Structure 1
Amino acid sequence: MQQLDQLLADFSSLAWGLPLLILLIGGGLYLLILSKFLPFRFLGHALQVLRGKFDDPDDAGEISHFQALTTALSSTIGMGNIAGVAVAISIGGPGAIFWMWISAIIGMSTKFFTCALAIMYRGKDSEGKIQGGPMYFIVEGLGKKWKPLAIFFSLCGLVGALPVFNVNQLTQAINDILLAPNGVTVGFNSNLIVGVVLVSITSIVILGGLNRISKVASKMVPSMVLLYFVSVLFILIVNYNVVPKYFIMIFTDAFAATNFKGDSFLGGILGGLILLGIRRGAFSNEAGIGTAPMAHGAAKTNEPVREGLVAMLGPAIDTLVVCTLTALAILVTGVWQTSDANGVSLTASAFANAMPGIGKYLLLICIAVFSISSLFSYSYYGTKCMSFLFGADKKHYYNYIYIASIIMGATTSLAMMINLIDGFFALMAIPTMTATILMAPRVIVEIKSYFRRLKESSNL
């Protein structure tokens, strides 16, 4: 088991090397400049689209703009925000959060382009149904000779979409918050029971297809973000006197790297801290990875720019809001300096510290909903990859692999699961970002055309 742990750690480090960092961050900056900072100029219009002002029931697609965003968010607002942020702080200190923010700001531009392309170049599966996602926009946009890149994305997506990290951290949260304090012996058997319960819940929803997934996600995600926001706001009010100190420390420590305990990168600890923040940011908001375009590609719209604008709200909500809330809760309570806990256990310590008795149970409710909603969305991504590779009539087989992997996630170590998913996320980003950068000028043409039409109809 130790050898497998080390193998996955080496694989993850290799995948997240300098070339990928240049592709994700350099590529994202290129897209931001190319679009003349579009994500920030048309934020108001994006909110109008999200509210349904421009919805047309006759447009192609399966789900609304709002359902597409909440389906994508249900996969990104999960353990990346609660456990992933805690991992970032425990290794990198407060400065890691600054680099997560940078990842999110750049990620808004990346999300816009990837999800606009998902609508511009929708393809058809073997059953003739319209589909979106990197594998389709690679083939439809770049041509059949690029199909190996689409196949590579889909193969990596089969593993990257597995729910093992979310399940692992939800199991740890149930053990730490619910079972162990009440005298229940925590071990392989208790983890197995948690896994079986999750299998039951997940099976009911994912076997019902995208419509059931999107309906459940659109109800669960907004209410849990609100509960989480209110809970963390209470923690910040209780510790109001130290909030400014730690908020400033996020900026100062980002360049000093005085609390960084990880491996150096590009010859220094600052490089290691930047890489840590970018990795955790990408894990949290998935910008450039290619999962979100699969959800947004199913939206009922014939306007690629509209879906791109809605999609770009994802990293803002996910990383700039939810991850920052988690980070401040951990920092202001001081648990990051006094506890040896990692992952979700560190966040649980922060909630227990600020709200004795009730805090950790409120967190457990949020964790449970975030994790379970993530389980629903990732299954959809995996079936899309299976469908592309082997035909739409075979996609249901992925659900059985997916359900079986829940047991694996519940009964293995955090390090193993985070390295496995991190590594395959990195590999998924290579075809997604390569195709997006190549086709970015086409999106710019579409942007100009869209806003010209909108101006002519005097809706802007």
Structure 2
Amino acid sequence: MQQLNDLLALIDSYIGGSDWFVYLLLGTGLFFTIYLKFPQIRFFGHALQIVRGKFDKDGDEGDTSHFQALATALSGTVGTGNIAGVALAIHLGGPAALFWMIMTAFLGMTTKFVEVTLSHKYREKSEDGTMAGGPMYYMKNAKATVFGKRINLKWMAILFAIATVLSSFGTGNMPQINSISHSMYATFGIDHMITGAVLSVVLGFVIIGGIHRIAKVTEKLVPGMALIYLIGALAVIFYNAENILPSLSAIFVDVFTGTAAVGGFLGAGFSFAFNRGVNRGLFSNEAGQGSAPIAHASAKAHEPVSEGMVAILEPFIDTIIICTITGLTLLSSGVWQEKLDNKFQNTDLEVLTYVYDENNQEDKDALYSHLSGKENVPMFSGQLNVVEGKITNTLTLLHARSIAEDVRVLKAADATDPTATETPYSGSLTVTNGKVDTGSDISIYGKSLVHSAPLTAEAFTRSFFGEYGQYIISIGLLLFAFSTAISWSYYGDRAMTFLLGSKSVIPYRVVYVAGFFFASFADTTIIWTLAGIAIALMTIPNLLGIILLRKDMKNTVNQYWKDFNDEWGDKKEIAPKKSETV
């Protein structure tokens, strides 16, 4: 399993985890923001009016309303990225990572506007009578101009559709149930497999009904789950009111310098905070990934730009509001820099040859260089000797990017005795180049930094609700992540429809539900690494596609405002003047 994770991490380092990918993502958003004259600001109010149905017409073709399409797309983005993803970004890059998540969202509002408009413009009606759209359809049906020649992007459409199917598992399926099952186990003690089995059955019933049932479920889930989460988060923030201003300062002050070591946090440089912030920002709001346009393509509308404007609201709600609130709960509560008692995951664990003291500046510098990939410290290889649960070797265990304390090694309980519990282990464990082989019956516990959903759950206990706050996270994560899995099943089946026709949808849904179950008890780190790869494989062709169709986009927006002013100008509707249009 460790070798698989190392291979996936290596692949991810060349695509989603690379600097060029980050610049491609931000650069595309920045280009269209300037090219279209900041549509995320100028069209924001107009987008709100469209969502309310002010300009709807009888006979508009589609399967869902503007609000249902927005809710479906939001349910696909508001998920573990908002709860676990923010915590992971701050864990890796410090408070400054949250700033880059917000900046990614601001530019992503324009990217969403472009990709949704083009996808809605070139959507088709599938064999079963439902609308089918998304980047694969604009790539297939639109003609791009390159060096004065008109070219077809169908090969990119096929690549994107294949990547969407993979990403439906790597983004919307496996990370979601994995986070749910871990949260339910940590909070209520429910076995991972039981959680996976129950929710897999529910998921199957929902997605069999297709987009109509999905839209009805998500339009009710999204507002409710957002309200529950908001109450819990604000309870943390105001309970720690004295830390609000220092937390805001930490987000912005260290943007270009990185975050220095504090508490159990060993520090993070600018490049790491920047890369992880943008990467987690994309995972959270999916701007540029091309997923949301698939949901918006089902919306009832007589022209595409209005639906593109609806999409502007997604990164704003998902990242600028919800992720910022999550970040403030983590920072104001202080849990992001505290060592907490937890069960160590082997993929987050390293055994170092020498003893390191985080109170010693030289040791901290050495560990910081190791964690940032600049200069590795010596890894231990040999036998780890354990007596009554205590490691007797003189060395250092590094877990979750922090020096582990109060380490305990326990042996699994007797499976035939329902009353049995874990007991202290005595014996030896083999360590190869810093990695421990614990087998299936040995677990290592101790105090270290934590990340992802467990970190956010801990932050929610530092509030007016006390220990009950963790239940808000468990319920919120259940609703957020489950709704994401529902939406991504639709994205995947639209991609399968594009590739193999409507008959392939049912087999795909069966595999999707099966994967959902098995991921409930898989290793978390591997799931997140796989998700990063899948995201990149969708994003790259989508970004290249919208850049090649930039003139098409500008002409479409210009035509929209011309038609809009002709129809609504005498009704005192506020629309951009001719001098303000793109």
Counterpart of 2:452? 343
How far is 1:426 from its partner?
0.5
AA aligned opposite 1:301: A
What is the root-mean-square deviation in Å for CA atoms of aligned residues? 1.7
Judge conservation of contact 1:232–1:329 (CA < 8 Å) in 2.
yes
AA aligned opposite 1:338: E
Judge conservation of contact 1:8–1:419 (CA < 8 Å) in 2.
yes
Residue by residue, what CA displacement relative to the aligned partner does 1:84-139 show, whole Å, maximum 9, x if unpaired? 00001111110000000110001000000000001111134355653210110100
TM norm structure 2:
0.75
- Three-state SS of the structure 2 residue aligned to 1:358 is helix
Judge conservation of contact 1:91–1:262 (CA < 8 Å) in 2.
no
Question: Structure 1: how far apart are the matches of 2:180 and 2:229?
Answer: 16
Judge conservation of contact 1:119–1:132 (CA < 8 Å) in 2.
yes
Counterpart of 1:134? 135
- Three-state SS of the structure 1 residue aligned to 2:209 is coil
How far is 1:20 from its partner?
2.1
AA aligned opposite 2:201: S
Question: Residue 293 and residue 126 in structure 1: after superposition, are their counterparts in 2 closer, same or farther (change >3 A)?
Answer: same
Judge conservation of contact 1:61–1:298 (CA < 8 Å) in 2.
yes
What does 1:59-458 align with in structure 2 at a 5 Å threshold? 59-127=60-128, 129-142=130-143, 145-162=152-169, 163-179=173-189, 190-259=191-260, 269-339=269-339, 340-354=449-463, 355-456=465-566, 457-458=568-569
Question: Structure 1: how far apart are the matches of 2:130 and 2:298?
Answer: 10
Question: Structure 2: how far apart are the matches of 1:9 and 1:126?
Answer: 40
Q: Percent identity at matched positions?
A: 38
How far is 1:272 from its partner?
2.0
Residue by residue, what CA displacement relative to the aligned partner does 1:330-378 show, whole Å, maximum 9, x if unpaired? 1111111113221100000001122313211122111111111111101
Question: Structure 1: how far apart are the matches of 2:211 and 2:298?
Answer: 9
- Three-state SS of the structure 2 residue aligned to 1:61 is coil
Counterpart of 1:32? 33
How far is 1:256 from its partner?
1.7
Residue by residue, what CA displacement relative to the aligned partner does 1:35-77 show, whole Å, maximum 9, x if unpaired? 1001101111100001111112411111011000110000100
- Three-state SS of the structure 1 residue aligned to 2:493 is helix
Question: Structure 2: how far apart are the matches of 1:52 and 1:125?
Answer: 26
How far is 1:22 from its partner?
2.7
- Larger RCO (alpha carbons 8 Å, 6+ apart): 1
How far is 1:214 from its partner?
0.7
Question: Structure 2: how far apart are the matches of 1:73 and 1:285?
Answer: 8
How far is 1:259 from its partner?
4.4
Question: Structure 2: how far apart are the matches of 1:103 and 1:167?
Answer: 26
Question: Structure 2: how far apart are the matches of 1:232 and 1:263?
Answer: 26
AA aligned opposite 1:85: V
1 or 2, which has the higher strand percentage? 2
Question: Structure 2: how far apart are the matches of 1:453 and 1:226?
Answer: 38
- Three-state SS of the structure 2 residue aligned to 1:353 is coil
Residue by residue, what CA displacement relative to the aligned partner does 1:279-334 show, whole Å, maximum 9, x if unpaired? 00000000000100000111100221110110010000000000011110011111
Question: Residue 223 and residue 127 in structure 1: after superposition, are their counterparts in 2 closer, same or farther (change >3 A)?
Answer: closer
* Structure exhibiting the larger radius of gyration computed from Cα positions: 2
How far is 1:197 from its partner?
0.8
AA aligned opposite 1:121: Y
Question: Residue 151 and residue 106 in structure 1: after superposition, are their counterparts in 2 closer, same or farther (change >3 A)?
Answer: same
- Three-state SS of the structure 1 residue aligned to 2:246 is helix
Counterpart of 2:431? none
1 or 2, which has the higher helix percentage? 1
Q: Which runs of 5+ in 2 are unaligned?
A: 145-150, 340-448, 575-582
Q: Which runs of 5+ in 1 are unaligned?
A: 185-189
Question: Residue 191 and residue 452 in structure 1: after superposition, are their counterparts in 2 closer, same or farther (change >3 A)?
Answer: same
- Three-state SS of the structure 1 residue aligned to 2:11 is helix
- Three-state SS of the structure 1 residue aligned to 2:57 is coil
How far is 1:446 from its partner?
1.6
AA aligned opposite 1:287: A
TM norm structure 1:
0.94
Question: Structure 1: how far apart are the matches of 2:95 and 2:231?
Answer: 22
Question: Structure 1: how far apart are the matches of 2:74 and 2:548?
Answer: 26
